[in-house]
A = this chain, B = another copy of it.
């Protein structure tokens, strides 16, 4: 890593000395990811200067890694000839991403400089639903035929390999492009050169459909540990492939979305630092308002019991603790269940197991907290035992309601085809608040009746 930093310093020095040939040589020794990071940190002018020095194949990859503002600046600065040479090297899936995100004038310049066939493909790709397998795939794959020999297959790979996103998994298709199976480069390299593909390829394959959701695709990758997955249409024709590096981004993005939804926000695909405060505020305010209005119930309940609170003001002092403990208990359960549903570990049919598990945990946790609170209030706080008993009993009931609600609501949401992640902390807390206040006042009315 330090080596890399040294190179950056060296390049900066060479640039300031205008020793461009050495700059070019040093840049070519670096990894594309690091170059992109370096260009991002440099002035716009230097960045464009260095970008133009990159070998064609590197330039394309560096370009796809840059933030979109810099991409559009580079496109604006590029001549038509430069643009054609970069665009030629970019894989179709990255190209589609770029076209989707760039402002209209930049897109126009891009499309002017791509061939008509590629333009047609881009348009076709743009039609796949967002977050579908179709929108993730690329069409630069290696397809083999059954009657090829291993030697022929390897020669073919040598011919088209450079333009393929991966050559490590090759797909076998029939004359109508229908997928018949796959063979890994490992198997090819280790096999006898004269064998026919037919004899050695794997006929049992896992594939996804162009319209499958990216969450399902990520799940399949994780389950089978593949490096690439074929994407087929409804007639089982091979349309494209998805590679594992793109899936790592999907996994991270899906987890981030769940984090956001579970904290009561609209998911945001941009990064935090890149997003403006108006957009961030907009994504947060909806749920806050909704939950704030829902809390009107708690106010109504408290008002109904004003006489009780007025004669026993001490009861008010426990309200925040009771409500927060309930909220926290519910969040714990809902978080585990939402995450389990997301990773595929928990399924709808497990609802009974979840119910009884949360019931058992409620008893253990509820009684421990209730007893602790009772003893602490009486012996350390010097409270009236009846008040302490009211608080302790409410804790047992609240924790139980919270844990069972938190455990079951995400499953119900999934059953109703809603995103289980909305049944998280904020919403559970609001529900549990109302229920726990009612329980609290009911118990207080019974236990503390003689004390008014």
Contacts and interface: CB of A to CB of B under 8 A. Distances in A.
Nearest to A296: B321
Contact of A320 (B33, B204, B302, B306): B302
A368 B285 contact: yes
Interface stretch (A38-46, A110-118, A132-140, A256-264): A256-264
Q: Interface residues of A toward B: which range?
A: 35 or more
A307 to B, nearest CB: 9
Contact of A33 (B223, B272, B324, B426): B223
5 interchain residue pairs of minimum CB distance: A295-B321, A225-B245, A263-B335, A277-B360, A298-B320
A225 B203 contact: no
Which has the most chain B C-beta neighbours within 10 Å: A227, A298, A361, A369? Answer: A361
Given A258-B259, A288-B365, 12 more contacts: A157-B189, A158-B190, A161-B186, A168-B186, A168-B227, A256-B339, A260-B339, A277-B361, A299-B320, A306-B313, A319-B320, A320-B320
A265 interface: yes
How many copies altogether? 2
Contacts of A31: 204, 206, 224
A154 B384 CA distance: 83
Interface in A198-213: 203-204, 206
Contact of A264 (B249, B277, B331, B350): B331
Interface of A: 29-31, 33, 154, 157-158, 161-162, 167-168, 185-186, 189-190, 203-204, 206, 221-225, 227, 244-245, 247-249, 251-252, 255-256, 258-260, 262-265, 271-273, 277-278, 280-281, 284-285, 287-289, 291-293, 295-296, 298-300, 302-303, 306, 309-310, 313-314, 316-321, 323-325, 327-329, 331-332, 334-340, 343, 345-346, 350, 353-354, 357, 360-361, 364-365, 368-369, 372-373, 376, 425-426, 429-430, 433, 437
